Chains A and B, each alone.
Chain A
Amino acid sequence: MIEIKDLKKSFGDLQVLKGMNVSIPKGQATGIVGPNGAGKTTLIKTILGLVKSDSGMIHVNGTRLNGDWLYRKDIGYMPQVARYPENMRVYELLHFIKGLRDQEAVYEEELIEQFNLGPELEKPLRTLSGGNRQKIGATLAMMFNPEILFFDEPTAGFDPRSSHKFKQRVKKEKEAGKTIFITSHIMSELEQLVDHVIFILDGNIRYYGSMANLLELSSEERLEAAIARLMDEPLNNSASKNEQTKNSASTLKMEFA
Protein backbone atom coordinates (compact mmCIF):
# COMPACT_ATOMS: atom_id res chain seq x y z
CA MET A 1 0.00 0.00 0.00
CA ILE A 2 1.51 3.29 -1.09
CA GLU A 3 -0.12 6.62 -0.39
CA ILE A 4 1.13 9.85 -1.85
CA LYS A 5 -0.29 13.20 -0.79
CA ASP A 6 0.40 16.50 -2.47
CA LEU A 7 3.95 15.51 -3.41
CA LYS A 8 6.07 18.37 -4.71
CA LYS A 9 9.65 18.49 -5.87
CA SER A 10 11.70 21.10 -7.69
CA PHE A 11 15.23 20.95 -9.00
CA GLY A 12 16.31 24.56 -8.93
CA ASP A 13 13.73 26.48 -10.94
CA LEU A 14 12.37 23.40 -12.57
CA GLN A 15 9.26 22.06 -10.91
CA VAL A 16 9.29 18.33 -11.59
CA LEU A 17 6.47 17.10 -9.38
CA LYS A 18 3.65 19.58 -8.98
CA GLY A 19 1.53 18.15 -6.22
CA MET A 20 0.80 14.51 -6.89
CA ASN A 21 -1.91 12.58 -5.11
CA VAL A 22 -2.26 8.89 -5.57
CA SER A 23 -3.08 5.83 -3.54
CA ILE A 24 -2.01 2.43 -4.73
CA PRO A 25 -3.49 -0.62 -3.02
CA LYS A 26 -1.50 -3.72 -2.23
CA GLY A 27 -1.24 -6.27 -5.01
CA GLN A 28 -1.87 -3.89 -7.88
CA ALA A 29 0.26 -3.83 -11.00
CA THR A 30 0.64 -0.27 -12.21
CA GLY A 31 2.25 1.08 -15.34
CA ILE A 32 3.72 4.56 -15.12
CA VAL A 33 3.69 6.30 -18.46
CA GLY A 34 4.33 9.75 -19.80
CA PRO A 35 6.70 11.63 -22.09
CA ASN A 36 10.39 12.01 -21.29
CA GLY A 37 10.96 14.49 -18.52
CA ALA A 38 7.41 14.27 -17.23
CA GLY A 39 8.54 13.18 -13.78
CA LYS A 40 8.21 9.39 -13.90
CA THR A 41 11.69 8.60 -12.68
CA THR A 42 11.58 11.38 -10.09
CA LEU A 43 8.35 9.95 -8.72
CA ILE A 44 9.88 6.49 -8.38
CA LYS A 45 13.09 7.86 -6.93
CA THR A 46 11.13 9.80 -4.35
CA ILE A 47 9.29 6.69 -3.24
CA LEU A 48 12.62 4.86 -3.06
CA GLY A 49 14.17 7.58 -0.95
CA LEU A 50 16.79 8.56 -3.53
CA VAL A 51 15.20 11.96 -3.95
CA LYS A 52 13.80 13.92 -1.03
CA SER A 53 10.53 15.70 -1.63
CA ASP A 54 10.07 19.41 -0.94
CA SER A 55 6.63 18.95 0.52
CA GLY A 56 3.87 16.40 0.73
CA MET A 57 3.76 12.96 2.24
CA ILE A 58 4.47 9.43 1.20
CA HIS A 59 3.36 6.42 3.18
CA VAL A 60 4.69 3.00 2.30
CA ASN A 61 2.80 0.26 4.12
CA GLY A 62 1.75 2.78 6.72
CA THR A 63 5.29 4.08 7.40
CA ARG A 64 5.76 7.73 6.63
CA LEU A 65 8.94 8.46 4.71
CA ASN A 66 11.10 10.80 6.72
CA GLY A 67 14.67 9.73 6.05
CA ASP A 68 14.30 6.42 7.81
CA TRP A 69 15.51 3.51 5.72
CA LEU A 70 13.93 0.41 7.17
CA TYR A 71 10.84 0.55 4.93
CA ARG A 72 13.04 -0.29 1.95
CA LYS A 73 13.36 -3.88 3.11
CA ASP A 74 9.97 -4.45 1.45
CA ILE A 75 11.08 -2.87 -1.83
CA GLY A 76 12.95 -4.27 -4.80
CA TYR A 77 14.19 -1.90 -7.50
CA MET A 78 15.54 -2.61 -10.93
CA PRO A 79 17.18 0.53 -12.33
CA GLN A 80 17.08 1.67 -15.92
CA VAL A 81 20.85 1.67 -16.31
CA ALA A 82 22.75 -1.22 -14.79
CA ARG A 83 26.39 -0.40 -14.13
CA TYR A 84 28.39 -2.22 -11.52
CA PRO A 85 31.99 -2.11 -10.28
CA GLU A 86 34.05 -3.39 -13.17
CA ASN A 87 36.26 -5.81 -11.34
CA MET A 88 33.59 -7.36 -9.21
CA ARG A 89 32.41 -10.79 -10.20
CA VAL A 90 28.73 -11.61 -10.50
CA TYR A 91 28.60 -13.93 -7.52
CA GLU A 92 30.46 -11.32 -5.45
CA LEU A 93 27.88 -8.69 -6.34
CA LEU A 94 25.08 -11.03 -5.26
CA HIS A 95 26.97 -11.79 -2.07
CA PHE A 96 27.52 -8.07 -1.44
CA ILE A 97 23.86 -7.16 -1.77
CA LYS A 98 22.85 -10.13 0.37
CA GLY A 99 25.16 -8.86 3.09
CA LEU A 100 23.60 -5.41 2.86
CA ARG A 101 20.03 -6.60 3.13
CA ASP A 102 20.36 -9.22 5.78
CA GLN A 103 17.31 -10.99 4.35
CA GLU A 104 17.10 -14.46 2.96
CA ALA A 105 17.56 -14.50 -0.81
CA VAL A 106 14.77 -17.00 -1.33
CA TYR A 107 14.59 -16.72 -5.10
CA GLU A 108 18.28 -16.35 -5.86
CA GLU A 109 18.80 -19.74 -7.44
CA GLU A 110 15.44 -19.81 -9.11
CA LEU A 111 16.12 -16.46 -10.82
CA ILE A 112 19.66 -17.39 -11.83
CA GLU A 113 18.26 -20.50 -13.42
CA GLN A 114 15.40 -18.69 -15.07
CA PHE A 115 17.61 -15.98 -16.58
CA ASN A 116 20.38 -18.45 -17.52
CA LEU A 117 22.88 -16.56 -15.40
CA GLY A 118 24.65 -19.71 -14.21
CA PRO A 119 27.54 -19.51 -16.72
CA GLU A 120 28.03 -15.80 -15.94
CA LEU A 121 28.49 -16.10 -12.20
CA GLU A 122 32.28 -16.31 -12.24
CA LYS A 123 32.78 -13.53 -14.78
CA PRO A 124 33.76 -9.95 -13.91
CA LEU A 125 30.84 -7.61 -14.39
CA ARG A 126 32.62 -5.48 -17.01
CA THR A 127 32.69 -8.40 -19.44
CA LEU A 128 28.92 -8.93 -19.31
CA SER A 129 26.62 -7.85 -22.10
CA GLY A 130 24.07 -5.13 -21.45
CA GLY A 131 21.24 -7.64 -21.46
CA ASN A 132 22.93 -9.86 -18.92
CA ARG A 133 23.60 -6.89 -16.69
CA GLN A 134 19.91 -6.03 -16.86
CA LYS A 135 19.09 -9.60 -15.87
CA ILE A 136 21.31 -9.24 -12.85
CA GLY A 137 19.45 -6.05 -11.99
CA ALA A 138 16.18 -7.96 -12.22
CA THR A 139 17.60 -10.77 -10.07
CA LEU A 140 18.76 -8.31 -7.41
CA ALA A 141 15.34 -6.70 -7.37
CA MET A 142 13.37 -9.90 -6.98
CA MET A 143 15.58 -12.35 -5.12
CA PHE A 144 14.62 -11.20 -1.63
CA ASN A 145 10.95 -11.66 -2.41
CA PRO A 146 9.99 -8.06 -1.56
CA GLU A 147 6.39 -7.04 -1.42
CA ILE A 148 6.78 -4.02 -3.67
CA LEU A 149 8.68 -4.07 -6.98
CA PHE A 150 9.84 -1.20 -9.15
CA PHE A 151 11.03 -1.77 -12.71
CA ASP A 152 12.39 1.26 -14.54
CA GLU A 153 12.32 0.58 -18.29
CA PRO A 154 13.08 -3.07 -17.63
CA THR A 155 13.09 -4.63 -21.08
CA ALA A 156 15.11 -1.99 -22.94
CA GLY A 157 18.26 -4.11 -23.14
CA PHE A 158 16.68 -7.53 -23.46
CA ASP A 159 16.61 -9.81 -26.47
CA PRO A 160 13.17 -11.31 -27.27
CA ARG A 161 13.87 -14.49 -25.35
CA SER A 162 15.02 -12.70 -22.20
CA SER A 163 12.20 -10.25 -22.53
CA HIS A 164 9.72 -13.10 -22.68
CA LYS A 165 11.25 -14.77 -19.63
CA PHE A 166 11.28 -11.53 -17.73
CA LYS A 167 7.63 -10.89 -18.46
CA GLN A 168 6.69 -14.39 -17.38
CA ARG A 169 8.50 -13.81 -14.14
CA VAL A 170 6.74 -10.49 -13.54
CA LYS A 171 3.39 -12.14 -14.21
CA LYS A 172 4.23 -14.77 -11.66
CA GLU A 173 5.12 -12.11 -9.10
CA LYS A 174 1.83 -10.40 -9.87
CA GLU A 175 -0.08 -13.60 -9.27
CA ALA A 176 1.73 -13.96 -5.97
CA GLY A 177 0.12 -10.68 -4.90
CA LYS A 178 3.07 -8.32 -5.26
CA THR A 179 2.59 -4.61 -5.75
CA ILE A 180 4.33 -3.84 -9.01
CA PHE A 181 5.33 -0.63 -10.76
CA ILE A 182 6.68 -0.54 -14.27
CA THR A 183 7.73 2.47 -16.29
CA SER A 184 8.01 1.88 -19.98
CA HIS A 185 7.64 3.48 -23.34
CA ILE A 186 6.57 0.20 -24.87
CA MET A 187 2.83 0.22 -24.46
CA SER A 188 2.24 -3.29 -25.75
CA GLU A 189 4.46 -4.52 -22.98
CA LEU A 190 2.47 -2.70 -20.34
CA GLU A 191 -0.73 -4.13 -21.77
CA GLN A 192 0.63 -7.57 -20.97
CA LEU A 193 1.89 -6.80 -17.52
CA VAL A 194 -0.23 -4.24 -15.74
CA ASP A 195 -3.89 -3.54 -15.19
CA HIS A 196 -3.67 0.01 -13.89
CA VAL A 197 -2.07 3.05 -15.44
CA ILE A 198 -0.68 6.29 -14.06
CA PHE A 199 -0.22 8.84 -16.80
CA ILE A 200 2.07 11.70 -15.89
CA LEU A 201 2.37 14.92 -17.83
CA ASP A 202 4.38 17.96 -16.73
CA GLY A 203 4.64 16.82 -13.15
CA ASN A 204 0.97 16.09 -12.69
CA ILE A 205 -0.91 12.85 -12.68
CA ARG A 206 -3.32 13.24 -15.55
CA TYR A 207 -4.88 9.86 -15.35
CA TYR A 208 -4.92 7.19 -12.73
CA GLY A 209 -7.20 4.25 -13.02
CA SER A 210 -7.63 0.88 -14.60
CA MET A 211 -6.44 0.30 -18.11
CA ALA A 212 -9.84 -0.95 -19.21
CA ASN A 213 -11.36 2.33 -18.16
CA LEU A 214 -8.79 4.34 -20.00
CA LEU A 215 -9.49 2.42 -23.17
CA GLU A 216 -13.20 2.85 -22.75
CA LEU A 217 -12.82 6.52 -21.97
CA SER A 218 -10.80 7.25 -25.05
CA SER A 219 -12.74 4.80 -27.20
CA GLU A 220 -9.48 3.26 -28.36
CA GLU A 221 -8.56 -0.37 -28.48
CA ARG A 222 -4.88 -0.13 -27.72
CA LEU A 223 -3.11 1.55 -24.86
CA GLU A 224 -0.68 3.29 -27.17
CA ALA A 225 -3.46 5.07 -29.04
CA ALA A 226 -5.22 5.94 -25.80
CA ILE A 227 -2.07 7.46 -24.30
CA ALA A 228 -1.27 9.32 -27.49
CA ARG A 229 -4.74 10.75 -27.40
CA LEU A 230 -4.37 11.73 -23.77
CA MET A 231 -1.18 13.61 -24.66
CA ASP A 232 -2.79 15.48 -27.53
CA GLU A 233 -6.11 16.29 -26.05
CA PRO A 234 -6.53 19.87 -24.87
CA LEU A 235 -7.28 20.28 -21.22
CA ASN A 236 -10.88 21.50 -21.39
CA ASN A 237 -11.83 18.74 -23.74
CA SER A 238 -10.77 16.00 -21.41
CA ALA A 239 -12.27 17.92 -18.51
CA SER A 240 -15.75 17.73 -19.94
CA LYS A 241 -15.19 14.09 -20.67
CA ASN A 242 -14.20 13.62 -17.11
CA GLU A 243 -17.49 15.13 -15.94
CA GLN A 244 -19.44 12.64 -17.98
CA THR A 245 -17.57 9.59 -16.88
CA LYS A 246 -16.98 10.48 -13.29
CA ASN A 247 -20.14 8.83 -12.03
CA SER A 248 -20.04 5.80 -14.22
CA ALA A 249 -16.41 4.96 -13.64
CA SER A 250 -15.78 4.70 -9.96
CA THR A 251 -12.13 3.72 -10.15
CA LEU A 252 -11.32 6.56 -12.47
CA LYS A 253 -9.64 9.60 -11.05
CA MET A 254 -8.31 12.51 -12.98
CA GLU A 255 -6.29 15.41 -11.85
CA PHE A 256 -5.54 18.69 -13.48
CA ALA A 257 -2.96 21.33 -13.09
Chain B
Amino acid sequence: MKLLSHIIKTEWKSLLRGKWVIGYTLIFLILTDTLLRFGGGGPETLLSLSNVMLLFIPLVGMIYGILYIYQSREFVELLLTQPIDRKVLYWGLFLGISTPLMAAFIIGSLLPLAWHGILALDGGSAALVLGLGGMLTLIFVSLGFVFGLMFYDDRIKGFGFTIVIWLFLAILYDGLVLMLVFLFGDYPLEQFVIVVSMLNPIDLARILVMLEFDISALMGYTGAVFNRFFGQNTGLVTASGMLMVWLVIPTWLGLRIFRKKDF
Protein backbone atom coordinates (compact mmCIF):
# COMPACT_ATOMS: atom_id res chain seq x y z
CA MET B 1 0.00 0.00 0.00
CA LYS B 2 2.84 2.34 0.89
CA LEU B 3 4.53 1.47 -2.36
CA LEU B 4 1.35 2.09 -4.33
CA SER B 5 0.82 5.55 -2.86
CA HIS B 6 4.49 6.34 -3.41
CA ILE B 7 4.13 5.62 -7.13
CA ILE B 8 0.83 7.51 -7.40
CA LYS B 9 2.19 10.58 -5.63
CA THR B 10 5.25 10.69 -7.84
CA GLU B 11 3.11 10.50 -10.98
CA TRP B 12 0.86 13.28 -9.68
CA LYS B 13 3.75 15.59 -9.04
CA SER B 14 5.26 14.95 -12.42
CA LEU B 15 1.91 15.49 -14.17
CA LEU B 16 1.05 18.70 -12.40
CA ARG B 17 4.36 20.14 -13.56
CA GLY B 18 3.48 19.39 -17.14
CA LYS B 19 1.10 22.27 -17.55
CA TRP B 20 -1.34 20.59 -19.83
CA VAL B 21 -3.47 18.90 -17.18
CA ILE B 22 -4.07 22.42 -15.92
CA GLY B 23 -4.90 23.44 -19.48
CA TYR B 24 -7.41 20.60 -19.67
CA THR B 25 -9.02 21.87 -16.47
CA LEU B 26 -9.23 25.36 -17.94
CA ILE B 27 -10.92 24.09 -21.11
CA PHE B 28 -13.76 22.58 -19.09
CA LEU B 29 -13.86 25.63 -16.84
CA ILE B 30 -14.28 28.01 -19.74
CA LEU B 31 -16.66 25.69 -21.57
CA THR B 32 -18.98 25.22 -18.59
CA ASP B 33 -18.89 28.88 -17.73
CA THR B 34 -19.71 29.88 -21.31
CA LEU B 35 -22.55 27.37 -21.49
CA LEU B 36 -23.97 28.73 -18.28
CA ARG B 37 -23.73 32.35 -19.40
CA PHE B 38 -25.28 31.84 -22.80
CA GLY B 39 -27.48 28.82 -22.15
CA GLY B 40 -29.33 30.45 -19.31
CA GLY B 41 -28.47 27.80 -16.75
CA GLY B 42 -30.58 24.87 -15.64
CA PRO B 43 -30.83 21.39 -17.10
CA GLU B 44 -30.05 22.50 -20.68
CA THR B 45 -26.58 23.54 -19.63
CA LEU B 46 -25.89 20.24 -17.95
CA LEU B 47 -27.14 18.47 -21.04
CA SER B 48 -24.86 20.46 -23.32
CA LEU B 49 -21.97 19.77 -20.98
CA SER B 50 -22.70 16.06 -21.01
CA ASN B 51 -22.88 16.04 -24.81
CA VAL B 52 -19.43 17.58 -25.01
CA MET B 53 -18.19 15.25 -22.33
CA LEU B 54 -19.54 12.12 -24.06
CA LEU B 55 -17.66 13.01 -27.21
CA PHE B 56 -14.52 14.53 -25.81
CA ILE B 57 -13.53 12.52 -22.72
CA PRO B 58 -13.26 9.11 -24.40
CA LEU B 59 -10.90 10.49 -27.05
CA VAL B 60 -8.72 12.44 -24.63
CA GLY B 61 -8.65 9.57 -22.15
CA MET B 62 -7.57 6.97 -24.69
CA ILE B 63 -4.95 9.15 -26.36
CA TYR B 64 -3.62 10.11 -22.96
CA GLY B 65 -3.37 6.49 -21.83
CA ILE B 66 -1.67 5.22 -24.96
CA LEU B 67 0.66 8.21 -25.10
CA TYR B 68 1.78 7.54 -21.55
CA ILE B 69 2.68 3.95 -22.41
CA TYR B 70 4.65 5.04 -25.48
CA GLN B 71 6.40 7.98 -23.85
CA SER B 72 7.42 6.23 -20.66
CA ARG B 73 8.61 3.03 -22.25
CA GLU B 74 12.21 3.15 -21.09
CA PHE B 75 11.22 4.46 -17.69
CA VAL B 76 8.64 1.73 -17.12
CA GLU B 77 11.23 -0.83 -18.15
CA LEU B 78 13.64 0.58 -15.61
CA LEU B 79 10.96 0.42 -12.94
CA LEU B 80 10.24 -3.19 -13.86
CA THR B 81 13.83 -4.13 -13.05
CA GLN B 82 13.39 -2.87 -9.50
CA PRO B 83 12.35 -5.36 -6.83
CA ILE B 84 8.64 -4.60 -6.99
CA ASP B 85 5.57 -6.53 -8.01
CA ARG B 86 4.33 -5.83 -11.53
CA LYS B 87 0.80 -5.69 -10.19
CA VAL B 88 1.60 -2.87 -7.78
CA LEU B 89 3.45 -1.00 -10.50
CA TYR B 90 0.50 -1.33 -12.88
CA TRP B 91 -2.02 0.04 -10.40
CA GLY B 92 0.37 2.77 -9.37
CA LEU B 93 0.89 3.95 -12.93
CA PHE B 94 -2.76 3.63 -13.90
CA LEU B 95 -4.16 5.42 -10.88
CA GLY B 96 -1.31 7.89 -10.91
CA ILE B 97 -2.13 9.14 -14.39
CA SER B 98 -5.89 8.60 -14.64
CA THR B 99 -6.95 10.28 -11.40
CA PRO B 100 -5.42 13.70 -12.24
CA LEU B 101 -7.25 13.66 -15.58
CA MET B 102 -10.46 12.73 -13.81
CA ALA B 103 -9.92 15.46 -11.24
CA ALA B 104 -9.18 17.97 -14.00
CA PHE B 105 -12.59 17.38 -15.60
CA ILE B 106 -14.50 17.35 -12.32
CA ILE B 107 -12.87 20.45 -10.86
CA GLY B 108 -12.97 22.34 -14.16
CA SER B 109 -16.71 21.76 -14.56
CA LEU B 110 -17.59 21.96 -10.89
CA LEU B 111 -16.29 25.46 -10.24
CA PRO B 112 -18.52 27.31 -12.76
CA LEU B 113 -21.49 25.18 -11.70
CA ALA B 114 -20.81 26.24 -8.14
CA TRP B 115 -20.42 29.97 -8.78
CA HIS B 116 -23.48 30.09 -11.01
CA GLY B 117 -25.47 28.42 -8.28
CA ILE B 118 -26.46 25.34 -10.28
CA LEU B 119 -25.17 23.00 -7.62
CA ALA B 120 -27.67 24.23 -5.06
CA LEU B 121 -30.44 24.17 -7.65
CA ASP B 122 -29.79 20.90 -9.42
CA GLY B 123 -27.15 19.17 -7.32
CA GLY B 124 -28.17 15.58 -8.04
CA SER B 125 -28.07 15.93 -11.81
CA ALA B 126 -24.80 17.85 -11.70
CA ALA B 127 -23.24 15.14 -9.53
CA LEU B 128 -24.40 12.49 -11.98
CA VAL B 129 -22.91 14.26 -15.00
CA LEU B 130 -19.60 14.90 -13.24
CA GLY B 131 -19.48 11.37 -11.89
CA LEU B 132 -20.11 9.92 -15.34
CA GLY B 133 -17.33 12.07 -16.79
CA GLY B 134 -14.96 10.78 -14.13
CA MET B 135 -15.99 7.21 -14.77
CA LEU B 136 -15.56 7.56 -18.55
CA THR B 137 -12.10 9.03 -17.94
CA LEU B 138 -11.03 5.95 -15.96
CA ILE B 139 -12.54 3.54 -18.49
CA PHE B 140 -10.92 5.15 -21.51
CA VAL B 141 -7.51 5.75 -19.95
CA SER B 142 -7.43 2.06 -19.13
CA LEU B 143 -8.48 1.22 -22.70
CA GLY B 144 -5.62 3.43 -23.87
CA PHE B 145 -3.30 1.43 -21.62
CA VAL B 146 -4.59 -1.82 -23.08
CA PHE B 147 -4.03 -0.68 -26.67
CA GLY B 148 -0.63 0.76 -25.80
CA LEU B 149 0.47 -2.55 -24.29
CA MET B 150 -1.06 -4.55 -27.14
CA PHE B 151 0.65 -2.48 -29.84
CA TYR B 152 3.77 -1.84 -27.82
CA ASP B 153 6.17 -1.77 -30.74
CA ASP B 154 3.88 -0.31 -33.36
CA ARG B 155 2.81 3.18 -32.41
CA ILE B 156 1.13 4.02 -35.68
CA LYS B 157 -1.07 0.96 -35.37
CA GLY B 158 -1.77 1.77 -31.74
CA PHE B 159 -2.87 5.33 -32.44
CA GLY B 160 -4.83 4.27 -35.51
CA PHE B 161 -6.66 1.65 -33.55
CA THR B 162 -7.44 4.16 -30.81
CA ILE B 163 -8.94 6.65 -33.24
CA VAL B 164 -11.00 3.98 -35.00
CA ILE B 165 -12.35 2.65 -31.70
CA TRP B 166 -13.28 6.17 -30.65
CA LEU B 167 -15.00 6.92 -33.96
CA PHE B 168 -16.88 3.69 -33.71
CA LEU B 169 -18.02 3.98 -30.10
CA ALA B 170 -18.66 7.72 -29.94
CA ILE B 171 -20.07 8.46 -33.36
CA LEU B 172 -20.94 5.48 -35.54
CA TYR B 173 -22.42 3.16 -32.96
CA ASP B 174 -25.82 4.72 -32.46
CA GLY B 175 -26.23 5.21 -36.19
CA LEU B 176 -25.44 1.56 -36.88
CA VAL B 177 -27.95 0.43 -34.29
CA LEU B 178 -30.57 2.70 -35.80
CA MET B 179 -29.85 1.28 -39.23
CA LEU B 180 -30.23 -2.29 -37.98
CA VAL B 181 -33.50 -1.38 -36.34
CA PHE B 182 -34.67 0.27 -39.53
CA LEU B 183 -33.74 -2.79 -41.60
CA PHE B 184 -35.28 -5.31 -39.24
CA GLY B 185 -38.12 -3.14 -38.00
CA ASP B 186 -40.66 -5.92 -38.48
CA TYR B 187 -39.13 -8.03 -35.72
CA PRO B 188 -39.24 -7.47 -31.95
CA LEU B 189 -35.89 -5.85 -31.35
CA GLU B 190 -36.10 -4.31 -27.90
CA GLN B 191 -34.00 -6.89 -26.10
CA PHE B 192 -31.42 -6.87 -28.86
CA VAL B 193 -31.12 -3.10 -28.68
CA ILE B 194 -30.70 -3.21 -24.92
CA VAL B 195 -27.92 -5.78 -25.13
CA VAL B 196 -26.25 -3.75 -27.86
CA SER B 197 -26.41 -0.53 -25.87
CA MET B 198 -24.73 -2.24 -22.95
CA LEU B 199 -21.75 -3.10 -25.12
CA ASN B 200 -20.79 0.55 -25.47
CA PRO B 201 -19.75 2.53 -22.40
CA ILE B 202 -20.45 5.85 -24.11
CA ASP B 203 -23.98 4.69 -24.88
CA LEU B 204 -24.43 3.63 -21.27
CA ALA B 205 -23.33 7.03 -20.03
CA ARG B 206 -25.63 8.70 -22.55
CA ILE B 207 -28.52 6.54 -21.36
CA LEU B 208 -27.85 7.51 -17.76
CA VAL B 209 -27.90 11.20 -18.63
CA MET B 210 -31.10 10.69 -20.57
CA LEU B 211 -32.80 8.80 -17.77
CA GLU B 212 -31.82 11.46 -15.29
CA PHE B 213 -33.22 14.29 -17.39
CA ASP B 214 -36.06 12.22 -18.80
CA ILE B 215 -35.62 13.38 -22.37
CA SER B 216 -35.45 10.17 -24.35
CA ALA B 217 -36.29 11.84 -27.65
CA LEU B 218 -33.13 13.92 -27.60
CA MET B 219 -30.61 11.27 -26.70
CA GLY B 220 -30.51 8.64 -29.40
CA TYR B 221 -32.42 5.52 -30.20
CA THR B 222 -30.85 3.09 -27.74
CA GLY B 223 -31.61 5.46 -24.91
CA ALA B 224 -35.25 5.64 -25.82
CA VAL B 225 -35.65 1.88 -25.88
CA PHE B 226 -33.76 1.58 -22.63
CA ASN B 227 -36.11 3.99 -20.96
CA ARG B 228 -39.20 2.21 -22.18
CA PHE B 229 -37.92 -1.20 -21.20
CA PHE B 230 -36.57 -0.48 -17.73
CA GLY B 231 -38.27 2.68 -16.61
CA GLN B 232 -36.27 5.33 -14.84
CA ASN B 233 -35.05 3.77 -11.59
CA THR B 234 -34.30 0.23 -12.71
CA GLY B 235 -32.70 1.73 -15.79
CA LEU B 236 -30.39 3.94 -13.73
CA VAL B 237 -29.28 1.02 -11.59
CA THR B 238 -28.78 -1.36 -14.52
CA ALA B 239 -26.84 1.14 -16.60
CA SER B 240 -24.64 2.15 -13.64
CA GLY B 241 -23.91 -1.50 -12.91
CA MET B 242 -22.95 -2.15 -16.52
CA LEU B 243 -20.69 0.89 -16.49
CA MET B 244 -18.91 -0.57 -13.47
CA VAL B 245 -18.40 -3.79 -15.43
CA TRP B 246 -16.98 -1.63 -18.21
CA LEU B 247 -14.47 -0.20 -15.77
CA VAL B 248 -13.44 -3.59 -14.43
CA ILE B 249 -12.92 -5.35 -17.77
CA PRO B 250 -10.31 -3.05 -19.38
CA THR B 251 -8.40 -2.46 -16.14
CA TRP B 252 -8.28 -6.19 -15.52
CA LEU B 253 -7.28 -6.86 -19.11
CA GLY B 254 -4.55 -4.22 -18.89
CA LEU B 255 -3.23 -5.76 -15.69
CA ARG B 256 -3.20 -9.20 -17.26
CA ILE B 257 -1.25 -8.05 -20.29
CA PHE B 258 1.12 -5.98 -18.15
CA ARG B 259 1.94 -8.96 -15.94
CA LYS B 260 2.61 -11.35 -18.79
CA LYS B 261 4.28 -9.00 -21.21
CA ASP B 262 7.87 -9.19 -22.43
CA PHE B 263 9.30 -5.70 -22.27
Instruction: Give the interface of A toward B (CB within 8 A).
Output: 11, 45, 48-52, 69-73, 75, 77, 79, 81-88, 92, 96-97, 99-102, 124, 137, 140
Instruction: Give the distance in Å from the alpha carbon of A75 to the alpha carbon of B77 in the complex.
Output: 14
* A101 x B83 contact (CB < 8 A): yes
Centre residue among B13, B78, B79 by max chain A CB count within 10 A: B78
Q: Which of A49, A72, A81 contacts B74 (CB 8 A)?
A: A81
Centre residue among A50, A70, A75, A82 by max chain B CB count within 10 A: A50
* B77 x A79 contact (CB < 8 A): yes
Q: Which residues of B from 1 to 40 have beta carbons under 8 Å from A? A: 3, 6-7, 10, 13-15, 17-18
B90 shortest CB reach to chain A, Å = 13
Task: Say yes or no for B80: interface residue by CB 8 A criterion.
Answer: yes
Q: Which of A81, A82, A101 contacts B82 (CB 8 A)?
A: A101
Centre residue among B13, B72, B82, B86 by max chain A CB count within 10 A: B82
A71 proximity list for chain B (CB < 8 A): 83
Q: Which of B7, B13, B18 contacts A86 (CB 8 A)?
A: B18
In the assembled complex, 27 residue pairs joining A and B whose CB atoms fall closer than 8 Å, in A order, are A11-B262, A45-B262, A48-B81, A49-B80, A49-B81, A50-B81, A51-B262, A69-B83, A70-B83, A71-B83, A75-B81, A79-B78, A81-B74, A82-B74, A85-B14, A87-B17, A87-B18, A88-B14, A88-B17, A92-B13, A96-B10, A97-B82, A100-B79, A100-B82, A100-B84, A102-B3, A137-B78
* B6 x A50 contact (CB < 8 A): no
Instruction: Give the distance in Å from the alpha carbon of A105 to the alpha carbon of B15 in the complex.
Output: 26
Instruction: Give the interface of B toward A (CB within 8 A).
Output: 3, 6-7, 10, 13-15, 17-18, 72-75, 77-86, 260, 262-263
B72 proximity list for chain A (CB < 8 A): 85
Q: A81-B74, A92-B13 are in contact. Are A72 and B6 (CB under 8 A)?
A: no
A98 shortest CB reach to chain B, Å = 10
* A87 x B14 contact (CB < 8 A): yes
* B83 x A72 contact (CB < 8 A): yes
* B83 x A73 contact (CB < 8 A): yes
* A92 x B10 contact (CB < 8 A): yes
Q: A50-B262, A69-B86, A72-B83 are in contact. Are A77 and B78 (CB under 8 A)?
A: yes
B6 proximity list for chain A (CB < 8 A): 96, 99-100
A45 proximity list for chain B (CB < 8 A): 262-263
A233 shortest CB reach to chain B, Å = 32
B85 proximity list for chain A (CB < 8 A): 69
A203 shortest CB reach to chain B, Å = 15
B40 shortest CB reach to chain A, Å = 41
* A79 x B74 contact (CB < 8 A): yes
* A99 x B3 contact (CB < 8 A): yes
Instruction: Give the distance in Å from the alpha carbon of A75 to the alpha carbon of B80 in the complex.
Output: 12
Instruction: Give the distance in Å from the alpha carbon of A216 to the alpha carbon of B6 in the complex.
Output: 53
* B78 x A140 contact (CB < 8 A): yes
Q: Which of A52, A70, A85 contacts B75 (CB 8 A)?
A: A85
A102 proximity list for chain B (CB < 8 A): 3
Instruction: Give the distance in Å from the alpha carbon of A84 to the alpha carbon of B10 in the complex.
Output: 13
Instruction: Give the distance in Å from the alpha carbon of A48 to the alpha carbon of B85 in the complex.
Output: 13
Instruction: Give the distance in Å from the alpha carbon of A231 to the alpha carbon of B260 in the complex.
Output: 35
Instruction: Give the distance in Å from the alpha carbon of A86 to the alpha carbon of B83 in the complex.
Output: 23
* B80 x A83 contact (CB < 8 A): no
B14 proximity list for chain A (CB < 8 A): 85, 87-88, 92
A251 shortest CB reach to chain B, Å = 30
B25 shortest CB reach to chain A, Å = 17
Instruction: Give the distance in Å from the alpha carbon of A251 to the alpha carbon of B6 in the complex.
Output: 47
A87 proximity list for chain B (CB < 8 A): 14-15, 17-18
